[in-house]
Structure 1
Amino acid sequence: MVEIDLPLPRLHPVMLAGTGSDVGKSVLAAALCRIFLQDGYHPAPFKAQNMALNSYATPEGLEIGRAQAVQAEAAGIPCHTDMNPLLLKPTSDRTTQVVLNGKPIGNRSAYEYFRIEGREELRREVNQAFDRLAARYNPIVMEGAGSISELNLKDTDLVNLPMARHANADVILVADIDRGGVFASAYGSVALQTPEDRKCIKGIIVNKFRGDLRLFEPGVKMLEEICGIPVLGVIPYYQDIYIEEEDSVELSLKQRKAVQGKVNVAVVLLRHLSNFTDFNILEHDARVNLYYTNNVEDLLKADIILLPGSKNTLGDLYELRRNGVAQAILQARRNGATVMGICGGYQMMGQRIADPDGMEGDVCQLPGLGLLPVETVMEGEKVTRQVRFSFLESGTPDCTGYEIHMGRTSAVDGAPVAPLVYLEDGTPDGCVVDPKCAGSYIHGILDNPAVIEWLLAPYAEKLAQPALDYAAFKEEQYNKLADYVRKHLNLPLLYQILTKND
């Protein structure tokens, strides 16, 4: 008997919508991307509008939210701006930089952005991005934003139920039981929708459950009865699966202290810290104790101090001088600690930062930390690109990373500068003074083994554990996440929903 491989059925797009922010939509979307890939499909992620400081550069040199880049990685495909056509990057409590199809189009206040005028133009852009993506992939794993029941924003909503209607998507409501009030939040999220939107919601996932699952079995039945839709699964809280986070909500949990027997690496906790995923590899390296802090005493105990990127470099530099952290960094350097800056942190390490056109605010110039013989002038054009580079004098462009920054950094008049890296085309980047003092514009620079080993080499006596293969580690985590969600999700029912003709 000859076996015939039948083509897989076309699946409806699926949207993970939330009862609120930080309920776990992004990670569950990554899990579904990997599950569909494992099951033979060709999935892709999509989030019409994202608000995050953590972003990523696509292969084309355009900018998207980090979560969609992670989800694309879980799906086994290159990331693209169609996966996140609209990105909002807050520059202050009231204003945000708007990035459309990977390119910044200006700063807006919250009032300006959410008003109805001009909204349909943005709606056309995000709808067209989805349509292009849906023509190439099956299925599209969509992610909503915040709560789906913000009634005051319903007329201007681009990312939740209006997007689901355009996509003809099946909506799965994600509720966070760890916060409490899961029945009220789930029922209210469904009940507050219009009859048309309520029909889009096909199921519920209860996320972040702690304790014995059997205790919630009556709760599942109650939830199904009051909401009138099935519960597809109850996902227990986990602590041993590591997926890159998009927002800095969890950084408060990473404010550990220095310890004996490991290389203590302190990341300076900036108010506008961005792209903290630059340090994930160190967080999982058994040789390292990584912690985030702006405590002066904790910084002075570190072997290595890392200055991260910032969405408001001048504002954060001013704050470091005001709260004594700048002085602590300089004292740590004098005491023999390593100081390395990435992107905005690299700019801060120079002699000065000038902002003559007020790109970041009212401060037109500040002295830097004076650790590197360079200076920076802020400019309107943003650099976004993926790069290959050679590290130090290796000559072989076998390292990778990406740039997302505003500003041009150059040598102070007459000062010799030794570049930290050379891009594939021979362009120098960054500056190195000695093995314990350097900076670079390249995000993801630490994901390269050559850079990590150079950074840790001065502390060889503490390096008893083997180096981490970060690419293999991430693949292992995506597979662990997929296995975990499979175990607790009713996948046959989900596939039935995604293939049913209404």
Structure 2
Amino acid sequence: MEKKVVLKPIMFVGTSSDVGKSVITAGFCRIFKQDGFSPAPFKAQNMSLNSFATPEGFEIGRAQAVQAEAAGIPCHTDMNPVLLKPTSDSSSQVVLQGKPVGNMSARDYFKAEGREKLFQEVCVSFNRLASKYSPIVLEGAGSISELNLKHRDITNLRMAREANAATFLVTDIERGGVFASLYGTMALLEPEERALIKGIIINKFRGDSSLFDEGRAMIEKLCGVPVVGVLPYFKDIVIEEEDSVSLKQKLNMASADKVNVAIILLNRLSNFTDFSRLENDPRVRVYYTKEPEEIAKADIVILPGSKNTIEDTIAIKNNGVAQAVTLAFKNGKTVVGICGGYQMLGELIDDPYQVESSIGSTSGLGILPVKTILREEKITKQSSFRFRNLDTECLGYEIHMGETSAEIESPVNFYRDGRHDGYFLNERCWGTYMHGILDNGDIINHLLKPYTNLENIIDYKEFKDQQYNRLADLIRQHVDLDYIYQTMES
């Protein structure tokens, strides 16, 4: 039953990137849902190669889709009106209101001209969202004290001021330098900006947090705002991460007693959340690698999605990865390609419109008899499908600009409307455009069948729901929720 109390929006900003804002935002979305409110997440501008298709067929950052799931509502482009998807070190595809509007260099994107119009677009999305949900749970981006970018800000404290949000500063104590990062961040803010900050959350504390009581008091004196929580470091609660920074913790090696699955670590790897369920399967050891020796140890090799398929294909040809994947295929290992990885397994990738790269085309690995042309129009949609001869209905989503064809069709997936997807070479080699295909338990069992007799049927939806509840419980235990609610009272 929804509460009638009206709450101001709340916002979580950071001393830097990767301090845990996305996960904390998801946790508070679940807390407000549990407490009878109707929350929704919002991030004005996101930069990520992890994206998701909304029910309407538009594209947003994966983190906001996860947060919407924690809030128990469908995701929508208003939750992330601006998404930047890096295609190179200096250029990104700009996705506005769920649709790509072109590639821009960082210099062009951050020019002062046009920022006001972009901010107006962001505010329209926020206001539309706020008319349907309460409270709105906002997430900032990176650090709030980047002096050279503040005057172009559409994401952090300018958005907090526009939303009249109770704002909390998050930092990661595991990195070290927590006093300097918090004090320095607050010291660099203007007085009116400091007034927006209602408290501090210290994240990823290891050990007994009572041992930090003296440090907590020092921080409060230095920064002039209360430390409202010290969240412990955890590894036993599974929440999908937003950025590939988290992949540094997943460079595990092969295991002797499990089915080893090597995910190729591409330079522009996208949608690595395709493997979240697989990572939590007790039968499997998933590791990310670009070392030929580690690829050789795998039972299953997966080429994942890429935001720059041609340049990533050239890169893996030059660093020995392509040869290692081809050798794995020849040795009877399972080789699977998803989205960009599917394109790489083919004979040719052609980019006549330069939608991803100035390099016009390149040959693929030649394992699958397919050819790809990159088109100017991006396909984004959620899909239900049947995988090969399995009777169960499966779910996934498509985000791609490629059109892949073969002289003789051999589909992997079949849609209700008669369309089909992918190329099935044999039981141990196939490719598909379907992101999230490995969220389906029957397909994972099919993938692992040559290597284990064990079956593990996990209700992944129920599993994720349990994780959101566990995250909410953890936050409740370690954060002064009464104080936070007080700051949100209108």
Q: Are the equivalent residues in 1 in contact too, given 2:229–2:479 (CA < 8 A)?
A: yes
Residue 248 of structure 1: how far off its partner (Å): 0.7
Aligned with 1:60: secondary structure?
coil
| Counterparts of residues 180-199 of structure 1 (less than 5 Å) | 180-199=176-195
Aligned with 1:146: secondary structure?
strand
Identity %: 59
| Counterparts of residues 93-112 of structure 1 (less than 5 Å) | 93-112=89-108
Aligned with 2:349: secondary structure?
strand
- Which residue in the other structure is 1:328 paired with? 324
1:149 equivalent in alignment to 2:141: no
Residue 395 of structure 1: how far off its partner (Å): 6.2
Residue 367 of structure 1: how far off its partner (Å): 1.3
Q: Are the equivalent residues in 2 in contact too, given 1:299–1:305 (CA < 8 A)?
A: yes
Residue 481 of structure 1: how far off its partner (Å): 0.7
CA distance in structure 2 between the partners assigned to 1:359 and 1:135 by the alignment:
36
- Which residue in the other structure is 1:420 paired with? 412
Which moves more between the two structures, 444-453 or 63-72? Answer: 444-453
1:334-390 residue CA offsets vs partner (Å, 9 max, x unmatched) = 111000000000001111111122222232121111111210011111111111111
Residue 425 of structure 1: how far off its partner (Å): 1.2
1:484 equivalent in alignment to 2:480: no
1:392-423 residue CA offsets vs partner (Å, 9 max, x unmatched) = 13466x11110111111111xxx322100012
Q: Are the equivalent residues in 1 in contact too, given 2:386–2:414 (CA < 8 A)?
A: yes
Aligned with 2:399: secondary structure?
strand
1:165 to 161, 166, 175: 161
1:436 to 428, 448, 457: 428
What residue identity is the alignment partner of 1:480?
A: R
2:136 to 135, 140, 145: 140
CA distance in structure 2 between the partners assigned to 1:395 and 1:286 by the alignment:
25
Residue 211 of structure 1: how far off its partner (Å): 2.2
CA distance in structure 2 between the partners assigned to 1:373 and 1:474 by the alignment:
37
1:30-64 residue CA offsets vs partner (Å, 9 max, x unmatched) = 00001111111110000000000000000011000
2:23 to 11, 20, 27: 27
- TM-score, reference length from structure 2: 0.98
Q: Are the equivalent residues in 1 in contact too, given 2:2–2:38 (CA < 8 A)?
A: no
Which moves more between the two structures, 415-424 or 345-354? Answer: 415-424
1:73 to 69, 92, 95: 69
1:409 to 381, 393, 404: 404
Aligned with 1:460: secondary structure?
coil
- Which residue in the other structure is 1:200 paired with? 196
Residue 191 of structure 1: how far off its partner (Å): 2.3
1:301-330 residue CA offsets vs partner (Å, 9 max, x unmatched) = 111101100000000100111111111111
Aligned with 1:92: secondary structure?
coil
CA distance in structure 2 between the partners assigned to 1:303 and 1:394 by the alignment:
23
Aligned with 1:332: secondary structure?
helix
- Which residue in the other structure is 2:441 paired with? 449
Specify whether residues 244 and 7 from structure 1 end up closer, same or farther in structure 2 by C-alpha distance, changes over 3 A only.
closer
Aligned with 1:458: secondary structure?
coil
1:353 equivalent in alignment to 2:349: yes
Aligned with 2:366: secondary structure?
coil
- Which residue in the other structure is 1:362 paired with? 358
Aligned with 2:230: secondary structure?
strand
CA distance in structure 1 between the partners assigned to 2:173 and 2:320 by the alignment:
40
The count of corresponding residues between Structure 1 and Structure 2 is 490
Which moves more between the two structures, 141-150 or 227-236? Answer: 227-236
Which moves more between the two structures, 244-253 or 270-279? Answer: 244-253
1:8-42 residue CA offsets vs partner (Å, 9 max, x unmatched) = 31111000010111111000000000111111111
What residue identity is the alignment partner of 1:59?
A: P
Q: Are the equivalent residues in 2 in contact too, given 1:373–1:417 (CA < 8 A)?
A: no
- Which residue in the other structure is 1:474 paired with? 464
- TM-score, reference length from structure 1: 0.95
What residue identity is the alignment partner of 1:38?
A: Q
1:494 equivalent in alignment to 2:489: no
CA distance in structure 1 between the partners assigned to 2:20 and 2:320 by the alignment:
36
CA distance in structure 2 between the partners assigned to 1:335 and 1:469 by the alignment:
34
Residue 7 of structure 1: how far off its partner (Å): 4.1
- Which residue in the other structure is 2:257 paired with? 261
Aligned with 1:204: secondary structure?
strand
